[in-house]
Structure formats: C-alpha cells, structure tokens
Structure 1
Amino acid sequence: MELRHLRCFVAVAEELHFARAAERLHIEQSPLSRTIKELEEDLGEQLFVRTSRSTRLTRAGKLFLEHVPRIFTALEQARDSVKAAANGFHGQLRIALSDGITPSRLPTLLALCRQEEPEVEIRLFEVPLSQQIKGLHDDLYDVGFAQSDEVGDGIAVEPIWSDPLMVAVPARHPLLKHKRIPLDEVLRYPLVLCDPQVCEGHARQVERVLRRAEQEPMIAERVASCDLMMALVSAGFALGLAGAPHIVSSRESGVVARPLAGRSPMLTTYLLHREAETSEVLARFIERVQAIESAKGVKPVLPPEPDQEEIEP
C-alpha cells in the first residue's frame, strides 16, 4: 500500500464519482480505477459499490475512511517535527482546542511557554471535541482544552478555568433595565447559540442552564464562533449566551454583558490528556496552565454600558 492509493481512495470516497475524483487528482479515470482495485486487492475487501448510475462506499470502505485522515495527519506532524528540529527546536507540544478557549488566557499561556521553554515548538489544532478525543487516543495530540468532561475512558480530565455565563444583550434593549436578568425573561426573546456540532462541550453546558426553565428557548441561529454570535447580537438579531471573557474580548461595541439572576452559572474549561504517564514537557505545561488560573484572581471587566437614558423601556 502506497500513499497514492490512500489519496485516490479519499478523493473517490469524498466525491463518490470516479470522473470527478480523477479530475480533482489531475489524472485519467482508468489509472484511478486501477489504483482503487489494487488497494482493494491489498486489503482483501471491496471498498466501493459501483454501478452505471452511482458510486457508494461499502461498510468496509466507511470504516477505512475513518482511519485514513489520521494517517495523513500523522505524516504531516512527522514532517513538521523534522522541520522543527532543523530550525533548532528540541521538543514539541501538540495542543488541541475545542469549544474555544477563553481569549484572555491563551496569549498569556503561549507567551509563558515561549519565555520558559523557547526550544519547545508549540503546535495548535482547532478541532471538534470528538476529533480531539480520537486524536488524544491516537497520539496525534499531547494535550487539549475543551468545555466537557464527558470524554470516556483513557483520558484524564482536570477542571482548570471557570468563567461566569453571561447574557450578551444588544444596546438599547429593554432587558437592560435588569442588572441581573432572570432566565425566564431571557427566554422571552430569540437566542443565538453556539452550534453543538462545532462547540459540543460549550453547547452542553449552556443547554443544562436553559433546562432550568420550563419555557422552551427560541433558537434564532446556531453559529460556529462567539465572534459571529456577538455580531448578530450587536445587530439586534437576538440575545446571546457566552462566557464573560468572550463578550469582553468582542470588538462589537453594541453588545452589553449582563449576568443571570440568582447564582451565576459557570462555564468550566477542562484540560485533557491521556491517562498514561505524562512527559516532562507536558507536566511543565500543565503547571503553567494551573499557575495562570492561580494568578488570575480578578473578575473580568465587563464592556461599558450605554447611558440609561438611551435604553428603551
């Protein structure tokens, strides 16, 4: 089995059309068909069911497709490691980020890593939670950040950062008469929330808060980032629910942060890594993460509020 077999397989599996796959690979269709046949003979399994009208993956083909991208990722990481060594780095730390990481902490953490261990190359990967968990098991990542502790066996989970869940409110909105907004009042208006397919852990924590109320939320939009959420809130499209640092870091001037009434719900960020013995580089990294939280010790500064006379009754 060669890399060309895998590249051809992925192209056909994604296109489900041999002619389009051949065009994508800049080869003729007949050599593409021969390559797929060679791969199937090597595996001893049929990967595609091909008729005059359609091409579809067999069960074996679907299973094979789950593994092939990780092969390419591992090869890419090996190539990058060689380049890093040539550039003077003597170690590498692969960090997966899911659900977004609080923006106020990431620059501080990376700067501290660069200052204390400049010889260690830091590589960041923004991936969905399910992909992070698979990558940790497959040794594609050394450590990860996510807003979920539901990660299954073999992964160590440690709560590291907590931030209040806030309501992002458009300026001049009637809810701004509340210093702390009751959840029932929030649910009277449309909401823009993070897409659970992209921010699975974040969405789970928000969903738990929304279930406290008897009323069903009106979901106006699901978005892939807090930046887009803040843009829609600023435009008056809907209310948003996000961690305080994400609202503070937003560049949208028309967004005001308000806490929920009662005991403020918290969004927790977890550090994930394999349960096997950690390397010295990873152990020192975890110490830095913990040190940042210990040194934080202050509440986030909320965005400035509009003058009260500008708020609609």
Structure 2
Amino acid sequence: MDNEIELRHLRYFVAVAEELHFGRAAARLHLAQPPLSQQIKKLEEILGYALFTRTSRAVKLTSAGEVFLERAQRTLRHVREDMEEVRSIGRGEVGYLRVGFIGSSMLTVLPAIFGRYRRAYPKVNLQLQESYTSGVVEGLLKATLDAGILRDGGPTHGLTVERLYSEPFVAVLPGKHPLAKQRALSPRALKDEPFVFYPPYSSKLAYEKPVSICEAHGFRPKVVQEAPQWLTILRLVGAGLGVSIAPACVERIAAPDVVCIPLRGAAVRSDIELAFREGEGREIVRAFAEIVRDGFAHGRKMKIPS
C-alpha cells in the first residue's frame, strides 16, 4: 500500500505544479507546508524520478514532472466526471429506463407525459414498448421492463400497481344502428347484439369488466369477433360486424361510421394504472413514477379528453 499512488498525491502534486510554490500550494490545500513537502517527496519515491527542481528561490517542474502534470490533471478530471455521473445515476438523471404501455393509454395524457419526462431527463435512454396488459406484467416480472402502464391490471403478486385514472365504459355502435341516436343506453339494450370484443388473454380483468356490465343486466355478450386493437374493433363495428363496450377514451379515434354512447346504470369503470416491481428503489424509476402521477393528476383536473 505504501508504494501505491493515491488521489491525494495527485491533488497535492497538481497544486504545487500549478502554483510552483510550496507555501501557496499548502494554503490552497489547507495544509501545513511540511506535510505537503513530505507527500510530494513520497510521490517522487514511488515514481522513482524527481518531479520538481527546488532552489532557495524557485520551484520548477522537471521534464518528467511536466508530463506527469498533464496525466495527473487528466486523471483528476476523469475522476470528477465519473463521480458526477454516478451521482447523476443516483438522482435518476442518466441510465436506461424501459417502459411498457398498453395502446389505449395513448388516448390519455400519457404521450404528453412521455414528452415531459424526456425533457426533464434528456440523458436517460427511455425505451418504450407497446404491448397488452398481460405482456407488460410479464415484462415487469421478468425484469425486462422497469415500469409499466396497464389497463385494468389489478392487484398482481410481485408488483406495486397504482390507479392513475378511471373512466366509464361506453357502448360502441355502427353509425346506422337503430340505437345510434340515443343519448344514453342501458346495457340491456345490447342483449341480442353480436359483439366485437378485446381478447381475454390481453388482460383478464379488462375483459371481465365489460362482460360484468352485461351480466349485471341479465345477459352474457355473444362475441362473434375478437380483435387485439381498439382501432381495429372500431373499424369492424363501423363495418357492421357487431357492437362493443369500450373505455370512453376510444371515442377519440372513432370514425364517422361509429358512435360512442354513454351507458346508463353501469357502475364499473376502466382504470389506467402505473406498475413496477415490489421493493423498487431505483431513483430512475421513482422519478418516472413521480412525473406520471403528476401528469395524470393534472389531467384529471383539466378533465382528460375521452
């Protein structure tokens, strides 16, 4: 250990080399001059070469000292940069953040939230992955994702799931349907209709919620067609293949051949949720979660368009 160069040796040497005066260097370092002189001598012994020529009137760098000054300054600069990078990682300002999200969440304030996060943390490599709720949950549990935005994921072992936003369900009908001009509908009015529905494997709870609305009004929907995306479902409804029950946000992408009508007497709502692994303590995830929560809270105050 006595023959190893330490960072303090480099700091002491750089101070003397820049001041070319042991007294001024000692004052700059808040040291007494004798210990500083001893440490420089120790550094020269470790290197095996003199770094300074000393006279009663002046201190000068040797040729070896001039080269070592450049190297020492570079080393100290890199150490400072590395320390700041580590601190930035600790603050969640740099690194990789992998976020999974469900497609319908893009019909809320989430896109603006992603934009806000990128502006707040430009050095973070934000990697976004669209999937179903089941796919996002799987990615979180397998640690291929760091955070997720779910729809009706519900309590999940191993995950912390927080509700961000809750919205009602609406009936989705072809524009030429006999009920299309109603201002509100009872779910019972859809009892004999064919349904175009989201597949149950995408999210068990997201599938069960609209089904439960139907069951509460005395029937189970007759599903004649499944589709993985709400845009596809809306297009199929518009083409006359059936009706559907969907979160209210889908009205934002409804074409003129489709109408979305509020459901009367339907207490069940659809939830957008934030999820991450239980015990997650990384600052990069905490900072993302904070921006997401704030964004949806602000959106609720501003009445998120649906």
CA contact (8 A) 1:99 1:199 kept: no
- Give yes or no for the alignment of 1:262 onto 2:265: yes
In 2, the alpha carbon distance for the partners of 1:215 and 1:139 equals 40
Within 5 Å, which residues of 2 pair with 1:154-303?
154-250=158-254, 252-296=255-299, 297-299=301-303
Instruction: Give 1 or 2 for the bigger CA radius of gyration.
Output: 2
**1:156 shift after superposition:** 0.7
In 1, the alpha carbon distance for the partners of 2:247 and 2:304 equals 10
Say if 1:295 and 1:182 are closer, same or farther in 2 by CA, change over 3 A: same
In 2, the alpha carbon distance for the partners of 1:177 and 1:128 equals 32
Partner-residue secondary structure (3-state), 1:286:
helix
Partner-residue secondary structure (3-state), 2:119:
helix
| Residue identity matched to 2:96 | Q
CA contact (8 A) 2:104 2:250 kept: no
In 2, the alpha carbon distance for the partners of 1:102 and 1:217 equals 27
Note the alpha carbon deviations across 1:180-229, whole angstroms, 9 max, x for none.
Answer: 10111022211111011234442122222222122232212111110110
CA contact (8 A) 2:227 2:233 kept: yes
| Residue identity matched to 1:293 | F
CA RMSD of aligned residues (A): 2.3
Structure 2 counterpart of 1:153, from 138, 141, 157: 157
In 1, the alpha carbon distance for the partners of 2:282 and 2:250 equals 32
| Residue identity matched to 1:103 | L
**1:299 shift after superposition:** 4.4
Structure 1 range deviating more: 212-221 or 111-120? 212-221
Q: Sequence identity of aligned pairs in percent?
A: 23
CA contact (8 A) 1:147 1:270 kept: yes
Aligned residues: 214
Structure 1 range deviating more: 192-201 or 160-169? 192-201
Alignment-derived partner of residue 128 in structure 2: 124
Structure 1 range deviating more: 196-205 or 186-195? 196-205
CA contact (8 A) 1:192 1:220 kept: yes
CA contact (8 A) 2:99 2:146 kept: yes
Say if 1:225 and 1:294 are closer, same or farther in 2 by CA, change over 3 A: same
CA contact (8 A) 2:133 2:150 kept: yes
Alignment-derived partner of residue 143 in structure 1: 147
Alignment-derived partner of residue 17 in structure 2: none
**1:95 shift after superposition:** 0.8
Alignment-derived partner of residue 119 in structure 2: 115
In 2, the alpha carbon distance for the partners of 1:254 and 1:298 equals 29
**1:98 shift after superposition:** 4.0
Note the alpha carbon deviations across 1:32-71, whole angstroms, 9 max, x for none.
Answer: xxxxxxxxxxxxxxxxxxxxxxxxxxxxxxxxxxxxxxxx
CA contact (8 A) 1:163 1:243 kept: yes
Partner-residue secondary structure (3-state), 1:268:
strand
Note the alpha carbon deviations across 1:286-312, whole angstroms, 9 max, x for none.
Answer: 11111122212344656xxxxxxxxxx
In 2, the alpha carbon distance for the partners of 1:176 and 1:282 equals 45
